[in-house]
Amino acid sequence: MLSTDNQALGHSQDSRKQRLEFNKLQKRLRRHVGEAIADYNMIEDGDKVMVCLSGGKDSYAMLDILRGLQQSAPVQFEIVAVNLDQKQPGFPEHILPEYLDSIGVPYTILEKDTYSVVKSVIPEGKTTCGLCSRLRRGTLYGYAQEIGATKIALGHHRDDIIETMFLNMFYNGKLKAMPPKLLSDDKQNIVIRPLAYCKESDLIRYADAKEFPIIPCNLCGSQENLQRQVIKEMLHGWDKQFPGRIETIFSSIKNVAPSQLADAELFDFKGLQLGRVEVDDSLFQRIDVVNV
């Protein structure tokens, strides 16, 4: 009997510890999302936010956190969930509708066979992510305008932003990443990334604790040795060897000094002029005399 009581006590203590850890995690993620929203004025009073759901951990977490903030935010905003069914073979079409129905969030499932387009254009074994994301983005942009959404929320987190910066540096020769807030080229849509300050490891733990019904991306996730995965592994190695380096890298993205780089369009190097003030030579003569 004593052994059973001890087991029950141990289980109770473990459960309490898990609840405390989850509460800390949830508060941290909500704080990071709130800070990102405030820093970049992502959501304003009266906004209709189209939350794009892929079925992955990040977009589930984004929707969940935004719904929580919606209850306490100083501004009123509407949330509409949207998923693009790209007609991937074996895609479990029932999972997202069932989940969204269970939490009472208004949603739309868009159906567009971008999978066949991607497979017909990209050679076997080549990375499909670029074309897939462009086709997906075009569809979502168009639907956002159709429903009058003022903001499009994507689930990219801090690690995605850093990885994208290194991908552009190493493979495209460009110093750019994913901005937390973006005006589309045609100025018809504003994209926001509320998870911009959130670590992927925190989001993994959050998704596990919340038991979101994760849907894997069989189109791009099944490919091995993607460039992004190489970058991810590089950053993971740095983080283990030099704790805090990832945080420093992200801080650098927010602290740019154009005059210390080399982009002549970003900074007017050609127009640099001396700003010397004429000095009275007699002043130096008098100093020399005094020194002597």
Q: Which of 100-109, 122-131, 138-147, 180-189 has the lowest mean pLDDT?
A: 122-131
Q: Which residue has the higher pLDDT, 210 or 135?
A: 210
- pTM of the prediction? 0.86
Measuring CA to CA, which residue among 4, 96, 92, 10 is closest to residue 55?
Answer: 96
SS3 (DSSP) at 75: coil
For the chain, first and last CA: distance in Å? Answer: 98
Question: Using CA atoms, how far apart are residues 58 and 156, in angstroms rounded to an integer?
Answer: 7
Q: Is 133 within a domain?
A: yes
Q: What is the DSSP string of 227-277?
A: HHHHHHHHHHHHHHHSTTHHHHHHHHHTS--GGGS--TTTS-STT----PP
Measuring CA to CA, which residue among 80, 69, 67 is closest to residue 32?
Answer: 69
| Number of domains composing the chain | 1
Residue with tokens 């991908």: 167
**Per-residue pLDDT tens for 163-208?**
999 999 999 999 999 999 999 999 999 999 999 999 999 999 999 9
Q: Is 51 within a domain?
A: yes
Q: Is 211 within a domain?
A: yes
Q: What is the DSSP string of 106-169?
A: -EEEEE--HHHHHHHHSPTTS--HHHHHHHHHHHHHHHHHHHT-SEEE----HHHHHHHHHHII
Report the CATH number that the domain containing residue 240 is assigned in CATH.
3.40.50.620
**Per-residue pLDDT tens for 8-43?**
555 667 788 889 999 999 999 999 999 999 999 999
Q: Is 172 within a domain?
A: yes
Q: Is 273 within a domain?
A: no
Could you give the percent of the chain with pLDDT greater than 70? 84
Q: Is 98 within a domain?
A: yes
**Per-residue pLDDT tens for 37-89?**
999 999 999 999 999 999 999 999 999 999 999 999 999 999 999 998 877 87
SS3 (DSSP) at 77: strand
Question: Using CA atoms, how far apart are residues 73 and 229, in angstroms rounded to an integer?
Answer: 36
Tell me the residue range of the domain where 135 lies. 36-253
Percent helix, strand, coil in the chain (nearest 5)?
A: 55, 10, 35
Q: Are 171 and 209 in contact (CB under 8 A)?
A: no
What is the rounded (10 degree) CA torsion for 68, 202, 161, 224? -120
Burial of 235 (0-12, 13-18, 19+ CB in 10 A): middle
Amino acid type, 256: V
Residue with tokens 């289980």: 11
Q: Which residue has the higher pLDDT, 205 or 277?
A: 205
Q: Is 46 within a domain?
A: yes
Residue 80 tokens read as 């509409």
Q: Are 85 and 91 in contact (CB under 8 A)?
A: yes
Residue with tokens 């709130």: 34
Q: Is 127 within a domain?
A: yes
Measuring CA to CA, which residue among 222, 172, 161 is closest to residue 196?
Answer: 161
